[in-house]
Structure formats: C-alpha cells, structure tokens
Structure 1
Amino acid sequence: MKKFIVLKAFMAVLIGFMGLSLISCNNDGPDIPPVKLQDVIGNYKGRLITSQGNNKAEAVVSFAVKKDTIKFADLPVKEIVKAVVKDPAKTEAALTAIGKIKYNLNYTAVVNASYNAVELTFTPKTLELNIPMDGAVKKTIVTFTAKEKGFYVGQNYAMKFGLVAEKITVDGTVLTPYEMIKYDFPYCIKN
C-alpha cells in the first residue's frame, strides 16, 4: 500500500513538472526588437560580391544610408570598365584614371507586417562614366535595375540588397555582346 501511495505521489510530481516545462516552451526564442523606418539610417560596411557569368569578385565596401538614399563614396566598377575596355592592362590604367566613383541609390522603405524588418524598394539611377581608352574618352552609361527588394533587420542591425548592371551604352551604342553584372550585398552591418 505504501508503495502504491509513493508511486501515485511520484507520478503527480512528474506530471506537474511536465506541465510546467510545456508552459515554459510558449515563449522560447529570441526577442526580436521592433524596427522603425529611422533605424535604417547610418553608416554600413559589408561584403560586395560582383559576378558576371562564371566570374566572381569580392570586396569590402562602405556606404551611408540617408532618409531615402544609399550613398556610395567609392562604388567598385572594375567589371564595368573591363566590359568596355576588354584589355586587362588598359583596364587597370583606365580604373586608375577614373578614380573613385560616387553613386546614389534611391529607395523607399516600409516596415513589414511583423515589425521585425524594413523592406527597401529601389529606384536606381543610371551611372555615367568617362572611360579613357586609346587616347580617347568613352562616354559610358550604365543602366542599373533592382530585381528584388532589400531588407534591414533590427535584430542584428544588418542590411541585404542587390543591383544588376543590366545594360551598358558606350558613346550612344549599346554594348553587345554583354553579360549582366550582378552586385550582391549579402550582409552589411551598421557601424
């Protein structure tokens, strides 16, 4: 009889602990702070993966995000210049002559329904470059598009987005053949 009472008491305690452990599971997971549109604003540093066909290059870039614009003080344009110039030695000389390229990328921002990320929709401008080549200057216009939305996540203060250099025009003529150049910013952290 004592064994039966001890067994009942042990089962009651065991069921009580199981019930408490299941209740504590209701609130597991990290607390994700809600974001506001203003949270996007700041200075960032991150990886840029530039790809054209099977060729890929990586660089670390810095940029500033303002109210409705992402400002690059030095946008890497090596692949664009290489597509126009074709000769590797002349490409390096042209890049040196061009120097740093400033580019502003306009965006509109909306906080998503869960309030845990800011969605960025881009309206890229064309980029105009004057590329020196064989004693002449080639007026080059690059048409950028943004195929996907970008995101800012408040949990880790990171931004992700991408651009595509869809078309290049040199001295009024569309560059053909031309394979699109993708600019992917997979993980950029706010400083």
Structure 2
Amino acid sequence: MKIKKVLHFLMLAVFAVSGMSLISCLEDQYTPIPVKLSDVDGNYKARLATFQGGKINEKLTDFNAKDSLITFKDFPAREVVKTVITDPAKADTVLAHLGKVEYKIKFKSKLNTGQNVVELALEPQVMVFQIPVEGVIKNVSVKMTAKQKGFYVGYDTSLRFAWEAEKITVGGTDVAPYQVIKYEVPISIKN
C-alpha cells in the first residue's frame, strides 16, 4: 500500500514538472532580426560542391560578396582542366602549375521580408584563363549560367547559391563531348 502511494506521488511530481517546463517554452519566442540588402556584403567561408557526371568533389573555399559581385580569388578549376585535358597525369601537372584562377559572379538582390531572406538573381560571368594544351598555351573560356536564385538567410547569416558551367571553349573550339559541371554552395558562413 505504501509503495502505491509513493508511486502515485512520484507520477504526480513528474507530471507537474513536465507541465511547468512546457509552459516556460511557450514564452520562448524567436523574433528574427530583419535582413537588409547590405547584409549580403562580407567575407565568407564555404563548402563548394562540384558535380560532373556521377562524380562529386567538395572543397572548402573563401569568397567575398560586395557591391553586387561575388568574387572567388582562388576558384577551384580542377573539373574544367580535367575536362579539357583528359590524361590524368598531364591534367595534374597543369593544375600544379596553374596558380590562382579568379572568378566573379554578378548578382541583383531583392529583399523578401516574408521569409527574412535576400534573394539573389545570379548573373555568372564567363571564366577565362590560360593553360598549356599539347605544348601550346591556349585560352580556356567557360560559359557559366544560373538556373535558380541564391539566398542570403538572415537566421544564420549564410549565403547559398548554385550555378553551372554550360560550355567550355578551348582556343575557339567547343569541348565535345561535354558533361555539364554544376557548382553548389549549400551553405557558407560569414566571417
């Protein structure tokens, strides 16, 4: 009989504590800080995922967003070089001597107050650099496109966007056959 009373008392105590903890949660409301168009500007560290065919490659990279321009000072051109130079050993040699490739993406921003985000209409630029192909230095031109919007998310101050390399031209000739290279920044953290 005493055990039943103790169990009833413990059950009542558990329900009382649970009820009070749930009531305190009702007062915890998240009120977002409204985003501004200027919030997009800054330096970011990102995970850049690259997809080509069935292959996925990821690399940590830095970029800057300022004045409606995203700038990668050291863009990872690995997939582009390996598409142009199909011999893996020669491609690795070219990559080792390539140096830094700078790439810029223009964007137009629009405030979406309902979602507390800044929407980015990306306008990727053509990426141009030079590599040695069969002993001759040739211009490589990569036509980039964006098929979806990017977003600056106020909740976690991150920038998220994607684009793709639609066509590669070497010395004025299109690379064929060609598999599209897709680039995605699923999340980036503002420094």
Task: Say yes or no: TM over 0.5.
Answer: yes
Deviations along 1:69-124, one digit per CA (max 9) or x if unpaired, are 00110000100000000011111111122210011110010111416100001111
Question: Would you say 1:155 and 2:155 are equivalent positions?
Answer: yes
Question: Would you say 1:168 and 2:168 are equivalent positions?
Answer: yes
Question: Would you say 1:77 and 2:89 are equivalent positions?
Answer: no
Give the letter for the 2:179 counterpart: E
Q: Distance in 1 between matches of 2:151 and 2:29?
A: 21
TM-score, structure 1 as length reference: 0.84
Paired position in structure 1 for 2:53? 53
Paired position in structure 2 for 1:8? none
Contact kept in structure 1, 2:35 and 2:113, CA below 8 Å:
no
Runs of 4+ in 1 over 3 A off after TM superposition: none
Q: Distance in 2 between matches of 1:60 and 1:102?
A: 16
Contact kept in structure 2, 1:50 and 1:56, CA below 8 Å:
yes
Measure how far apart 1:40 and its partner are: 0.6
Deviations along 1:2-32, one digit per CA (max 9) or x if unpaired, are xxxxxxxxxxxxxxx9xxx6xx85x765222
TM-score, structure 2 as length reference: 0.84
Give the letter for the 1:164 counterpart: E
Paired position in structure 2 for 1:125? 125
Q: Distance in 1 between matches of 2:103 and 2:30?
A: 37
Paired position in structure 2 for 1:37? 37
Paired position in structure 1 for 2:105? 105
| Structure 1 unaligned residues grouped into runs of 5+ | 1-16
- Which has the larger displacement, 103-112 or 126-135? 126-135
Deviations along 1:128-172, one digit per CA (max 9) or x if unpaired, are 121112211122110000111000011111110011001001111
SS at match of 2:83: helix
Question: Would you say 1:181 and 2:176 are equivalent positions?
Answer: no
- Which has the larger displacement, 131-140 or 40-49? 131-140
- Which has the larger displacement, 124-133 or 58-67? 124-133
Paired position in structure 1 for 2:135? 135
Contact kept in structure 1, 2:34 and 2:113, CA below 8 Å:
no
Number of equivalences: 173
* RMSD value, Cα: 2.2
**Change in 2 beyond 3 A, CA 1:115/1:51:** closer
Q: Distance in 2 between matches of 1:38 and 1:150?
A: 15
Contact kept in structure 2, 1:126 and 1:143, CA below 8 Å:
yes
| Structure 2 unaligned residues grouped into runs of 5+ | 1-18
